C-alpha cells in the first residue's frame, strides 16, 4: 500500500511541476504581450460594411472606435486582444447607425468598458435602445464628445476631439459624427466616422490643424464625403477605406478614389486587405500586414 501511495505522490509531483511550468509560461506570455515599448498600434478591423478601429497606446490603454455591424466585431477582437483580456478602456460610437455600434451589443455581454463616448445625435432604431440598456445595466458612464476635449492615452498618445463643437441632437447622424485626431508625437490619424462634405468644409474654414499621417475616409468611401479641399488640408500619406466586399452601396465611389489618387495618397481598404495594422514609433507609421494592390469601385 505504501508503494502505491508513493507511486501516486511521484506522479502528482510531476503533474504539479508541469502545472507550475504552464502558469509560468502564461505569465511570461502576458508580460511579453503587455511590454509594448514605445509603440502605438492602430488596427482597422475587418468588420464588413462598417467601421471598427482598435487603438492600443504605448502605455497599454485600449480604445475601440465603433463596433461595426452584426457580430463581426467578435470575430475580429481575438486578433487584437489575448484570451485573458476582457476589458476595454473606452468605446466610441462616432455615429449611432447600426454599422458603427451594433457589434458593441455582443461585446459588452463579455467585456467590461470604463466609458462610452458618443456625439449626442439621436437614433430611434430598436437595436440602439438595446445597446443603451446594456450600457445602463453595466453602469458604463456615457460622455458627450465636444471640441476641446483631450483624452490622455498615456506615454504621449492622446485623442483630440475636433467635432462636434455644439449640440448635434438636431442633426442627422452623419453630419453629427465624431471627428477626432489620434496623436502620438509626430504621427497622427484623423478619424471621422460618416462625417459629410458639409462638415469637412466647415472644419476647413476653421483655424484647426488637420494634417495627419493617416486619414480614415469618411462614410466608407461614399461620394458624400472626402472633398478635395479637406483631403489637401489633411495631406495624409495613407487613406483607409472601411467597407465590405461587393457591398450594395458601391463603396468606395469612383469620385472618392479619383480625389485620393489626384492628391497621390496611398489607398488601402479592408474589403481587399482584410484587417489593416499600423504601428507608430512616434516618428512614422509602419504598415504591418501585407499590402494588396488596388482598390476598385464597389470594393470588387
What is the C-alpha to C-alpha distance for residues 152 and 103, in angstroms, rounded to an integer?
A: 25
The pLDDT score that the predictor gives to residue 112 is: 96
Query: Going residue by residue through the chain (300 aa), what tens digit of pLDDT does each one get?
Result: 555 445 555 555 555 555 555 555 555 444 444 545 799 999 999 999 999 999 999 999 999 999 999 999 999 999 999 989 999 999 999 999 999 999 999 999 999 999 999 999 988 778 889 999 999 999 999 999 999 999 999 999 999 999 999 999 999 999 999 999 999 999 999 999 999 999 999 999 999 999 999 999 999 999 999 999 999 999 999 999 999 999 999 999 999 999 999 999 999 999 999 999 999 999 999 999 887 778 989 898
Given CA atoms 115, 116, 120, 126 in this order, what sign does their dihedral have? Answer: negative
The pLDDT score that the predictor gives to residue 105 is: 96
The pLDDT score that the predictor gives to residue 292 is: 77
Q: Within 10 Å of residue 78's Cβ, how many Cβ atoms?
A: 10
What is the C-alpha to C-alpha distance for residues 247 and 263, in angstroms, rounded to an integer?
A: 25
- For the chain, the residue count is 300
Query: Whose CA is closest to 215, among 245, 250, 180, 174?
Result: 180
The pLDDT score that the predictor gives to residue 290 is: 80
Cα-based angle 263, 190, 117 (whole degrees, multiple of 5) = 155
Element (H, E) at 94: none
Q: Where are the domains of the chain?
A: 1-35, 36-299
Query: Whose CA is closest to 279, among 42, 34, 29, 100?
Result: 42
Q: Which CATH class is domain 36-299?
A: alpha beta
Distances, alpha carbon 76 to alpha carbons 67, 105, 146, in Å: 10, 15, 29
218, three cell numbers: 469618411
The pLDDT score that the predictor gives to residue 116 is: 98
Amino acid at each position: 500500500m505504501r508503494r502505491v501511495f508513493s507511486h501516486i505522490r511521484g506522479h502528482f509531483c510531476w503533474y504539479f511541476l508541469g502545472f507550475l511550468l504552464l502558469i509560468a509560461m502564461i505569465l511570461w506570455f502576458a508580460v511579453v504581450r503587455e511590454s509594448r515599448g514605445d509603440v502605438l498600434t492602430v488596427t482597422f478591423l475587418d468588420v464588413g460594411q462598417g467601421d471598427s478601429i482598435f487603438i492600443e497606446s504605448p502605455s497599454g490603454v485600449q480604445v475601440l472606435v465603433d463596433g461595426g455591424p452584426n457580430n463581426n466585431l467578435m470575430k475580429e477582437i481575438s486578433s487584437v486582444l489575448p484570451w485573458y483580456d476582457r476589458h476595454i478602456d473606452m468605446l466610441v460610437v462616432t455615429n449611432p447607425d447600426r454599422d458603427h455600434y451594433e457589434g458593441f451589443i455582443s461585446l459588452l455581454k463579455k467585456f467590461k468598458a470604463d466609458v462610452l463616448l458618443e456625439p449626442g445625435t439621436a437614433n430611434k432604431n430598436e437595436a440602439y435602445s438595446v445597446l443603451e440598456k446594456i450600457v445602463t445595466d453595466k453602469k458604463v458612464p456615457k460622455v458627450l464628445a465636444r471640441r476641446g476635449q483631450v483624452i490622455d492615452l498615456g506615454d504621449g498618445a492622446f485623442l483630440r476631439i475636433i467635432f462636434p463643437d455644439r449640440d448635434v441632437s438636431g442633426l442627422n447622424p452623419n453630419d453629427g459624427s465624431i471627428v477626432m485626431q489620434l496623436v502620438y508625437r509626430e504621427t497622427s490619424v484623423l478619424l471621422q466616422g460618416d462625417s459629410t462634405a458639409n462638415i469637412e468644409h466647415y472644419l476647413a474654414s476653421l483655424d484647426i490643424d488637420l494634417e495627419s499621417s493617416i486619414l480614415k475616409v469618411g462614410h466608407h468611401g461614399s461620394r458624400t464625403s472626402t472633398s478635395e479641399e479637406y483631403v489637401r488640408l489633411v495631406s495624409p500619406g495613407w487613406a483607409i477605406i472601411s467597407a465590405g466586399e461587393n457591398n450594395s452601396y458601391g463603396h468606395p465611389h469612383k469620385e472618392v478614389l479619383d480625389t485620393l489618387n489626384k492628391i497621390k495618397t496611398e489607398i488601402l481598404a479592408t474589403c481587399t486587405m482584410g484587417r489593416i495594422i499600423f504601428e507608430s514609433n512616434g516618428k512614422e507609421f509602419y504598415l504591418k500586414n501585407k499590402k494588396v494592390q488596388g482598390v476598385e469601385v464597389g470594393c470588387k
